[in-house]
Amino acid sequence: MFDKLTLKNRYKIRPWLSGIMVTVVLILIQEITYFWLRTLAVALISIALFMVIQKLADENRGLLSLVTLDELTGLGNFRAYQERMRLETQRARRRHAPLTLILIDLDHFKNYNDSHGHRLGNELLNSAGQIFRGAVRSIDGVYRFGGDEFAIVLPDTDIEQARYIIKRIRHSFESLPNREVVTLSMGVANYREEALIEFFDRVDHLLYSMKASGGNGCQFESSESYASNSSSRTAL
């Protein structure tokens, strides 16, 4: 895998080299007296330029993956989450559509990691990530922020629909043979056309309220929470 510096240097050098080569070839073409030979040369250089552009586009996609994907799980990282939420909140406001955010934390993961080592800890994180990905639709977003913190973005999804997703996650995670004492704490809420950081903080508060009460559950805002800030706890 290329490191970021190597990829950055590629993008600095290759356009300059390509430009110099094109300039030299164009100068040489001007010296060709036969029309058919000049046409052939232009066609060949056009094909070569297309191949260079295609190559750069492929490398650009690879660089984007390095920037936006979590290397361990293959899920989106925090940067990808921020961009997705920016787009989804704009869409939710424009269409007045529901948008639900789930924040997830693995309870007792640090103890598990310390006891079993980083390799098994990473395997459990990867298994959890695949469970979260498999529990949602292809249009939904699943992200790992680092450590044992995950987020799921559910466009066009209300709280009641999110409950079914959480049940699928719970059932699949509890079936993992290697999870031992590790459980899940979750916070879930709908978007209220608020600032993005306020939405995140609201769901994050629900998550840590769940953890403070012992974990292994999901903290929902109740249907009256928009007025009273009350919440409801659902044990996993």
The secondary structure element, H or E, covering residue 100 is strand 99-107
The total of other beta-carbon atoms located within 10 Å of residue 20's CB is 10
DSSP state of 69: B
Task: Give the span between the Cα atoms of 96 and 199, in whole angstroms.
Answer: 16
Task: Give the span between the Cα atoms of 100 and 161, in whole angstroms.
Answer: 9
Q: Would strands 217-221 and 183-190 be described as parallel, antiparallel, or unpaired?
A: parallel
Q: Of 70, 105, 107, 148, which residue is the catalytic one?
A: 148
Question: Are the C-beta atoms of 79 and 67 separated by less than 8 Å?
Answer: yes
Scored b (16 or more CB within 10 A) or e, 157-196 reads bebeebeebbeebbebbeeeeebeebbbbbbbbbbeeeee
Query: The tokens of 190 are what?
Result: 């709908």
Check if 3 is active-site. Answer: no
Task: Give the span between the Cα atoms of 117 and 106, in whole angstroms.
Answer: 16
Active site residues: 148
